[in-house]
Amino acid sequence: MFDLVKLLATALQSRVGTALAAIGRHSVLIGGIKSMSLNTRLEALKERHASLETRIFDEDHRPSPDTQALTRLKLEKLRLKEEMERLRTNGV
């Protein structure tokens, strides 16, 4: 159970860091609040998703893949995919 909690916490930290970096690169000041256009956010998510796909491939093809790292990467990739779908569907 502890490993799962640790895995989820690590994935969440990575996701928050990615989101903050994306906001810093692509934000616009609107009414004193930083926001990102929907297309800019989707592009940032697509880039991160592609990066994760490469990292998963590389890890999976190592002589001795780290199964915990693979699980964490795949979980993060799935969350990104779900967020992209939510943005495409709801626009929020």
Q: Is 58 within the bounds of a domain?
A: yes
Which tens digit of pLDDT belongs to each residue from 24-66? 444 444 444 445 689 999 999 999 999 999 999 999 999 999 9
* Side chain identity at residue 70, one-letter code: L
Using a cut of 0.75, tell me whether the model's pTM lies above it. no
DSSP tag of 33: E
The encoded tokens of residue 74 equal 């795949």
The encoded tokens of residue 8 equal 């989820």
DSSP tag of 63: S
What is the residue range of 63's domain? 37-92
Q: Is 5 within the bounds of a domain?
A: no
Q: Is 68 within the bounds of a domain?
A: yes
> What span, in angstroms and rounded, lies between the C-alpha atoms of 25 and 44?
10
